[in-house]
């Protein structure tokens, strides 16, 4: 936690400082193939190649076949899978739902995490205990979190009972059965699970802001509110980059929470790509599942670069 500049995941993955620069200092050039043999990279790269890159490459092949659980041979079919999925609207629908879900999760998770970090910033005993409580959902299995909220949000569940107790009116809204708003509810649940992690990262970001900058703003007559928005929040840019990128790209690859709360329903309005993949795979429609898996890969790859680029540029400006 030394400075704000040396930071987060997805951050400055640039090459290490060239050893040429150091050669002047150390003429012997001790870093070489004898002291740091390249074969040390072997096991890690082999695992990555076999279990990560090869399946990804397969995605680009088997999405163009009729691979299924119903027959033994696999034949190339060109763009048939894409045409079929695009033709009946499933493709755009799943892509749209995935992007909407990811954006909602990124917004809620960061709002909650940031608010908690500001609330629990001072190192009092109460705040330290509260932080631990907000980390419990992070440790819990996402599946378990989904079941807890499924029970909590039933039409006759505890949340509605609490609303009834407060308002005195009967209240039986089906939080997880609304074709318009359920996706928002599920995104809030996803954000609830991970907000503790965002909170920790924002807290670490807040700690890196030197006390004297805040003091200077105060002496200049800035109000607390103004100090906060004008002086402190811009300095949190690295934490924002990390949190937004991980929430956005992570939730596009989400599955557990949606599966445990709605299973993709009602009327498939929360069917994000991984739910679709899971469902079609279970039906033996392997080629369709592969096609969607490829679409997810392309979606994340296409979004990862602009998201990281925009956030990093914003960081540089501030």
Partner 1 sequence: MSSSFNSDARIWRRLQPVVTILLVAGVIGIPLWLVVVTAGKSQGEALNPDLSLPSEWHLWDNLRQVWTEGEVPAAFFGSLLVVVPTVFGVLAFGSLASWVLARRATRLNAVLYALGISGIVLPPAVVTVVLLLRQLGLAGTAIGMIGVYMGIYMSTVIFFVTGFVRTIPESLEEAAQIDGAGPLTVFRKVVLPMLRPVLATATILICLYVWNDVFYAFFVIGGRIDTLPLNLFRVASAGLYLNNWHLIFAYVILMSLPLIAVFAVAQRKIISGITSGAVK
- Residues 43-82, interacting with partner 1 (CB under 8 A): 43-45, 47-48, 50-56, 58-59, 62, 67
3-class secondary-structure state, position 221: coil
Nearer residue to partner 1 within complex by CB, 165 or 317: 165
CA-closest candidate to residue 253, choices 313, 283, 305, 297? 297
Chosen residue from 91, 95, 203, 247 binding partner 1 by CB under 8 A? 203
Region of 100-108, 176-184, 192-200, 264-272 interacting with partner 1 (CB under 8 A): 192-200
SS (H, E, C) 232-269: HHHHHHHHHHHHHHHHHHHHHCCCHHHHHHCCCCCCCC
For 76, the token pair is 């190339």
CA angle, 136 then 138 then 141, to 5°: 95
Report the alpha-carbon distance of residue 273 to residue 295 in Å, rounded.
8
**Beta carbon of residue 189, minimum distance to partner 1 (angstroms, whole number):** 10
Binding-site string for partner 1 from residue 220 to residue 259, where x marks contact by CB under 8 A and - marks none = -xxxxx-x----------xx--x--x---x--xx-xx---
Instruction: Verify binding: residue 157, partner 1, rule CB under 8 A.
Output: yes
For 124, the token pair is 């009092």
Burial of 80 (0-12, 13-18, 19+ CB in 10 A): middle
Q: Are 163 and 171 in contact (CB under 8 A)?
A: yes
Binding-site string for partner 1 from residue 266 to residue 305, where x marks contact by CB under 8 A and - marks none = --------x--xx--x----x--xx--xx-xx--xx--x-
Region of 79-87, 177-185, 214-222, 310-318 interacting with partner 1 (CB under 8 A): 214-222
**Beta carbon of residue 30, minimum distance to partner 1 (angstroms, whole number):** 6
Report the alpha-carbon distance of residue 159 to residue 175 in Å, rounded.
10
Chosen residue from 107, 138, 163, 235 binding partner 1 by CB under 8 A? 138
**Beta carbon of residue 248, minimum distance to partner 1 (angstroms, whole number):** 10
């Amino acid at each position: 936690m030394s400075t704000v500049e040396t930071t987060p995941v997805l951050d400055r993955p640039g090459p290490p400082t060239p050893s040429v620069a150091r050669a002047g200092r150390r003429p012997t050039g001790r870093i070489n193939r004898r002291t740091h043999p390249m074969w040390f990279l072997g096991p890690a790269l082999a695992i990555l190649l076999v279990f990560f890159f090869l399946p990804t490459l397969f995605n680009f092949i088997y999405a163009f076949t009729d691979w299924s659980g119903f027959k033994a041979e696999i034949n190339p079919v060109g763009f048939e899978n894409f045409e079929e999925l695009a033709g009946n609207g499933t493709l755009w629908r799943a892509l749209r739902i995935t992007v909407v879900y990811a954006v909602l999760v990124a917004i809620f998770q960061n709002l909650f995490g940031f608010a908690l970090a500001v609330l629990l910033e001072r190192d009092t005993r109460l705040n330290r205990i509260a932080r631990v409580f907000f980390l419990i959902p992070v440790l819990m299995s996402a599946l378990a979190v989904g079941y807890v909220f499924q029970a909590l949000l039933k039409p006759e569940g505890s949340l509605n009972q609490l609303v009834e107790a407060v308002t005195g009116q009967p209240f039986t809204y089906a939080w997880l059965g609304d074709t318009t708003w359920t996706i928002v509810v599920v995104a809030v649940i996803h954000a609830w699970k991970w907000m503790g992690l965002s909170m920790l990262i924002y807290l670490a970001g807040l700690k890196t802001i030197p006390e004297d900058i805040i003091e200077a703003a105060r002496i200049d007559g800035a109000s607390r509110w103004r100090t906060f928005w004008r002086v402190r929040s811009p300095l949190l840019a690295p934490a924002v980059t990390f949190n937004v990128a991980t929430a956005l790209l992570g939730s596009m690859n989400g599955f557990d929470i949606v599966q445990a709360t709605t299973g993709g329903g009602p009327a498939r309005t929360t069917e994000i790509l991984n739910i679709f993949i899971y469902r079609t795979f279970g039906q033996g429609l392997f080629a369709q599942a592969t096609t969607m898996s490829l679409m997810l890969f392309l979606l994340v790859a296409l979004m990862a670069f602009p998201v990281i680029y925009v956030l990093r540029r914003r960081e540089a400006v501030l």
